[in-house]
């Protein structure tokens, strides 16, 4: 069955913009007040960043499928994604506060780190997954630059305490991989999954 629209199970405005960029019609399918979405993102002991991001993304997809069923919605495909920043194998999640954001940014300054974005598309044809891996290199950062960036509020709510599409773009010396993947939705991989799910766009 061919579908014309997609459910996006994500609050990220950047993911919405990226879907708009490639002409994918979508509506939001967000967690209700009775769901503990944060609980899905707990890191398991000994879990690698690659395993973590793919597991969390698959859990988000399963939760979204239950949500669609409970709300008796049409069986359009569902898109879920999860992005993780890691440095030397350590997962850098969303900073709890400004101090943690500053510490994360200082640890990324003048060196390279990996950005992993997992994507899952759930449809009547099953679950299909993809993983985008990119490497980002920051130039050295002064303490006052970090403080100004943290004061902007942009690092809060973002894995690794930065958004490449915002002010932090000036910190990025080079990237190897997918720019859209670093933003939170790798378009090459996502488009391939959506075609597998028979979405027309």
CA distance 185 to 163: 13
Q: With contact defined as beta carbons under 8 Å apart, do 2 and 37 qualify?
A: no
Active-site residue flag, 50:
no
- Which residue, chain included where needed, has tokens 């879920």? 80
Q: With contact defined as beta carbons under 8 Å apart, do 107 and 141 qualify?
A: no
Tell me the three state secondary structure of residue 92: strand
Q: With contact defined as beta carbons under 8 Å apart, do 112 and 136 qualify?
A: yes
Out of 50, 51, 82, 97, the active site residue is 82
Tokens read off for 98: 């400004």
Tokens read off for 75: 């069986």
Q: Catalytic residues, which ones?
A: 82
């Amino acid at each position: 069955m061919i579908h014309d629209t997609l459910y996006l199970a994500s609050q990220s405005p950047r993911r919405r913009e990226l879907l708009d960029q490639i002409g994918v019609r979508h509506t939001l399918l967000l967690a209700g007040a009775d769901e503990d979405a944060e609980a899905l993102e707990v890191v398991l002991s000994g879990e690698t960043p690659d395993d973590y991001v793919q597991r969390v993304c698959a859990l988000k997809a399963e939760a979204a499928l239950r949500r669609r069923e409970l709300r008796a919605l049409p069986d359009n495909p569902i898109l879920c994604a999860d992005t993780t920043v890691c440095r030397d194998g350590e997962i850098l999640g969303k900073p709890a506060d400004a101090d943690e954001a500053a510490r994360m940014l200082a640890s990324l300054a003048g060196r390279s780190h990996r950005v992993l974005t997992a994507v899952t598309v759930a449809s009547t044809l099953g679950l299909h997954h993809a993983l985008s891996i990119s490497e980002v290199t920051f130039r050295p950062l002064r303490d006052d630059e970090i403080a100004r960036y943290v004061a902007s509020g942009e690092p809060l709510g973002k894995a690794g305490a930065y958004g490449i599409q915002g002010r932090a773009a000036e910190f990025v010396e080079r990237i190897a991989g997918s720019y859209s993947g670093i933003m939170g939705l790798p378009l090459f991989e996502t488009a391939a999954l959506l075609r597998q799910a028979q979405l027309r766009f």
